[in-house]
Structure 1
C-alpha cells in the first residue's frame, strides 16, 4: 500500500519518498508513525511494505520476506510511478531496503534523512541483539523462543513508552492496534524472516560508508 500525498502545484521532477518499514525492530506499524508534512513543492509517497502496515501479509510459503525482496518490490513500485529522483527519509527497518535502493542507483537519491537507521557495528545494543545473534548462528526452538520476545504485547508497548518522561499522553490504542496487526494469522513467521535476514546488513556497512564519503566529498 502506498499513501501518496500530493500538492496540485508540486513539480513532478522532485518527489519525497518515505521508505517506512516500521518504528523499531519488527513491527508492522508503518501507518501509525508520525510522518513529515509534505512541503509545497513535494509529493510524499509513504509506503506500507508487504507484510507491514495495512498492506497484504502473505504467508512465508508465498513470499520470502527478505530485505532484498522488499527492495525489489519498492524498486518496482517506483518504476511504475515514474519516480527516478527523490529525497529519501528512512527509519529503522526502512533504512535496510532504503539503503539498498541507494546502492543500486545512487544518482536517484538527491538527499537522505535517516532516523534510527543504524549502519555501524557500534549501534547494536547487546541487551537486545544477543538473542538475535544466537538466532543467526542457529535456528532452534530455543533461539527462536528468544527472538519471539520481540513479538509480545509488552515488547510492542515498550516501543511507545521507553524514554517517555510522562506516559499519560500516549494513547494505549496505538500499541494495541500495532500488536493486532502484528498478530495476524501467520504473521509471526513472516516477522521472524527479517530478523534472520538482518544478518545480511552488516556486510553492507563498509560499502555504505564509502558511498556517503564519496557523496560528501562531491557535493
Structure 2
C-alpha cells in the first residue's frame, strides 16, 4: 500500500519589533502557496511556540502557520524588567503591543487566531484593536469569563506584589514540579504526555533573567479579568466563527469557561475533552482535524464562497 506523507517545511526565524528580537516558527504550505489560509498561534504560560510543534507538523503543509515567542519566553529576547530598572514593562498590554507589531512586520492582514492560556489575553487585545484581522477564532483553554476561573486561579489573580509571601507564591509556580503538573494534571493517561514540553519549559524558566518577567506578568493578570466585559462585547458584536476545544480537567480554567463562550457566540463549535490544561499533548489526533476543518471553513466563508479544499488530517 502506497502511503502519501506530506511533511511541511518549518522555518525558525527572528524579527525585530520595537527593539526586541522576536523568535517565531513559520510553516511553508505545500498546498495553496500564497493563497493558503493563515493561522496565528499564541502560546501560553510557561511555554513558548515549541508547544505547537506537533500541531504545525500536522497542519503546516496545508496552512501558513505562524507561532511567535513573546518577550521573556522561549527563544525571544528577555529585556530587563522595568521593575528592576530595565527597559521593558512586562504587562499583557505590552505583550500585545509586541505581538501587534510582529503581525504588522510579517504583513499579516487576516488570519485565524488560535489562543491558549496567556494567548487569550494577548489575542483578545489584538482582536479588539483590529477586528478586521480576525477571520476566525480557535480557543483552547483560553479564558474570557469569570466562571471560567477556578478557585486556584482566583487566588492567583488576587496576588499583589506588596503582599507578604506573594512573590514566593508565584515563584513556586516556576518550579519543575509545578510545570510538570500543568502538563499531567487532569489527564487520564499521563503516558500520552511527552516529557519534552515541561522539560523545555523549565529550561527556559531557569535561565538568568527569566524570573522577574514572570513575576510581573503574574501580578498584572488582574488586568485581563477587568477586560473580560470588553472582550465579551467584541465577541457579541463581531461574532467571529469560533471553535472551542477544551480540556475539562484544567486546574486553572474549568469547563464552565468553555461553555460561557456560547452565550456570546451561540453558533460556535464546542468540543470538550477529558484531559487537562495542555490538551494538545494527549489529544492532538482529535483536535488537529477539528482545527483543520474549522480553518478551512472559516477561510472559505470569508474569502472563497462556495469553494472547499477538502483537507484530511490523519
Name the TM tier (shorter chain).
0.7 to 0.9
**Number of aligned positions between the proteins:** 213
Note if 1:166 corresponds to 2:207. no
Note if 1:81 corresponds to 2:106. yes
Please point out which of 130, 138, 142 is paired with 2:155: 130
Query: 3-state DSSP class of the match of 2:166?
Result: helix
Structure having the higher Rg: 2
Instruction: Compute the displacement of 1:39 (Å).
Output: 6.0
Q: Classify 1:132/1:149 alpha carbon distance in 2 versus 1 (closer, same or farther; 3 Å).
A: farther
Note the alpha carbon deviations across 1:62-105, whole angstroms, 9 max, x for none: 32111111111111111121111111111110111111000001
Structure-1-length-normalised TM-score:
0.87
Q: Classify 1:195/1:188 alpha carbon distance in 2 versus 1 (closer, same or farther; 3 Å).
A: same
Note if 1:191 corresponds to 2:214. yes
Residue in 2 that maps onto 1:6: 28
Residue in 2 that maps onto 1:155: 178
Structure-2-length-normalised TM-score:
0.62
Q: Classify 1:31/1:41 alpha carbon distance in 2 versus 1 (closer, same or farther; 3 Å).
A: closer
Note if 1:42 corresponds to 2:63. yes
Query: 3-state DSSP class of the match of 2:73?
Result: coil
Residue in 1 that maps onto 2:228: 205
For structure 1, the residue ranges without an aligned partner over 5 or more in a row are none
Q: How far apart are the structure 2 equivalents of 1:139 and 1:196? A: 10
Q: How far apart are the structure 2 equivalents of 1:56 and 1:74? A: 13
Q: How far apart are the structure 1 equivalents of 2:111 and 2:148? A: 27
Q: Classify 1:166/1:38 alpha carbon distance in 2 versus 1 (closer, same or farther; 3 Å).
A: closer
For structure 2, the residue ranges without an aligned partner over 5 or more in a row are 1-22, 242-300, 302-314
Note if 1:69 corresponds to 2:94. yes
Q: How far apart are the structure 1 equivalents of 2:47 and 2:197? A: 12
